[in-house]
Amino acid sequence: MASIQRRPNGRWRARYRDQDGREHARHFDRKVDAQFWIDGITASQVRGDYVDPRLGRTRVADYVGMWLPAQPLRDTSRRAYDSYLRNHVLPAFGDQRLAAVTRTQVLAFRRDLEERLAPITARHVMVMMAGIFADAVTDGVLAHSPCTDTVPRRPPRRAVVPLTVAEVEALIAAAPRRYRAMVVLGAACGLRLGEVLGLAVASVRFADLELDVMQQLVLVPGRPPRLAPPKTRGSVRTVPLAEVALEALTDHLSAYPADAGELVFRSRAGTPVWPNTFHTSVWHPLRMRAGLPAARFHDLRHFMASALIRYGESVKTVSAVLGHADEIETLRTYSHLWPDADVRTRAAVDAVFGPRADSLRTGYPAHRL
């Protein structure tokens, strides 16, 4: 039920009742404006996209406080979202009402992020913020999102430049004995840092020369690190153990024995090694000693991928060993390391017509070519 009445002061009062029977009213100087407002409300009720205007008065911080715990996020993603909210979104919009946030404000916020943060980080913040307001629309709290078309494009992916063999050897040599096998596993098995720190003794099958990646060590905001499933389903995998990795693990467990159910790598106190502690206290000093101040632990994983590609392994094999979600991710990251079609064609022709051509491969005597 809706109505429009003229007030004693000459203004027009438009009012209606929502589906729950609550009355809403606004005052206008002109009757036509009051009628336009009522018509818009009526149309939204008929379409089923009516939004109670009082819900839009919810503070952004209050809505986010309900939104974040409800999201099905991995621990690492939840930690990143918590950081984005505390450091960027809430300081800018936390005290504002949801309905008061405008697209112009969001664009100004995006420009500020792009001036202060790396392009990929700024994009991640904007993707999260767009998700928050999209869910507010879905929840019936907002009629429209102010974040429409505000997410920046994905920045160009920087080409991976693998470490050289000499650089990896320098990192291994600079590592303390307690953590040296970690560096070897990164370079020889392509394990992520969390997968190395979460590796259990029982997952190393020495007799089969294989290593099972079944879990990773992750950090959760406000809590100690804990064991969790790997990053993706594809990350649960079996990795071949090369001789160098086998020797490193054997040497490590000889120096630092552990039971089958325990982690391979532990601190001096026998507790799990925190990733941030490893980066600060172990990795940073050893890379400085190795003369590689810009090297990351993840670069060891890139080294492993480049080694497989160099020796002719397929995309499928590289993807399986690294535990990528799919082969598209592998190609997106390492496609520039595979020889292109022209290089392969020249190599094939040279192999056939060269002086050392394999006559058995062609089926003809070499002197007839």
- DSSP secondary structure, 315-356, as one string: HHHHHHHHT-SSHHHHHHHHGGGS--HHHHHHHHHHHHHSTT
Torsional sign, CA 341, 344, 347, 353: negative
Domain check: are 252 and 206 in the same one?
yes
3-state SS assignment for residue 98:
helix
Closest CA to 212 of 245, 188, 238: 238
Mean per-residue pLDDT, 210-229: 87
Reported as a pLDDT band with limits 50, 70 and 90, residue 155 is: confident
pLDDT reading at 221 higher than 70: no
pLDDT reading at 150 higher than 90: yes
How many residues can be counted in the chain?
Answer: 369
The residue with greater pLDDT, 31 or 67, is 67
**What is the reported pLDDT for 167?**
96
Domain check: are 175 and 250 in the same one?
yes
**What is the reported pLDDT for 234?**
87
Output the average pLDDT for the chain. Answer: 87
Which residues neighbour 145 within 8 Å (Cβ) at sequence distance 6 or greater?
130, 133, 134, 136, 137
Domain check: are 238 and 267 in the same one?
yes
Mean per-residue pLDDT, 24-44: 78
Reported as a pLDDT band with limits 50, 70 and 90, residue 169 is: very high
- Segment (H or E) for 220: strand 216-220
Number of domains in the chain: 4
Mean per-residue pLDDT, 53-57: 66
- Segment (H or E) for 17: strand 12-17
Mean per-residue pLDDT, 320-324: 93
Mean per-residue pLDDT, 164-169: 95
In a domain, 318, yes or no: no
Q: Which of 96, 119, 138 is the last residue of a domain?
A: 138
Reported as a pLDDT band with limits 50, 70 and 90, residue 216 is: very high
Reported as a pLDDT band with limits 50, 70 and 90, residue 361 is: very low
Q: What percent of the chain has pLDDT over 70?
A: 86
pLDDT reading at 1 higher than 70: no
CATH number of the domain enclosing 204: 1.10.443.10
Q: Which of 138, 154, 179 is the last residue of a domain?
A: 138
In a domain, 283, yes or no: yes
pLDDT reading at 86 higher than 90: yes
Q: Which of 138, 173, 197 is the last residue of a domain?
A: 138
- Residue spans of alpha helices (H) in 97-139: 103-116, 119-138
In a domain, 359, yes or no: yes
CATH number of the domain enclosing 83: 1.10.150.130
Q: What would the pLDDT profile of 121-142 be if each residue is shown by its tens digit?
A: 999 999 999 999 999 988 888 8
Domain that holds residue 20: 2-50
In a domain, 320, yes or no: no
In a domain, 76, yes or no: yes
In this prediction the pTM is 0.70
Between 42-46, 183-187, 354-358, 364-368, the lowest mean confidence (pLDDT) is in: 364-368
Instruction: Give the integer Cα–Cα distance in Å for 179 and 283.
Output: 9
In a domain, 121, yes or no: yes
Q: What would the pLDDT profile of 332-341 be if each residue is shown by its tens digit?
A: 899 888 876 5
**What is the reported pLDDT for 355?**
58
Domain check: are 41 and 66 in the same one?
no
What are the angstrom distances between the C-alpha of 207 and each of 65, 114, 224, 245?
51, 52, 34, 13
Reported as a pLDDT band with limits 50, 70 and 90, residue 2 is: confident
pLDDT reading at 349 higher than 80: no
Backbone angles phi, psi at 108, to 5 degrees: -65, -40
Domain check: are 178 and 296 in the same one?
yes
Reported as a pLDDT band with limits 50, 70 and 90, residue 83 is: very high
Domain check: are 112 and 218 in the same one?
no
Mean per-residue pLDDT, 287-313: 94
Contact call for residues 301 and 223 (beta carbons, < 8 A):
no
Mean per-residue pLDDT, 30-46: 74
Between 16-20, 112-116, 297-301, 365-369, the lowest mean confidence (pLDDT) is in: 365-369
Domain check: are 207 and 284 in the same one?
yes
Domain check: are 205 and 274 in the same one?
yes
Q: Which residue has the tokens 């109670």?
A: 52
Domain check: are 288 and 363 in the same one?
no
**What is the reported pLDDT for 56?**
62
Domain check: are 211 and 296 in the same one?
yes
Domain check: are 345 and 248 in the same one?
no
Domain check: are 226 and 102 in the same one?
no
Q: Which residue has the tokens 């560096």?
A: 183
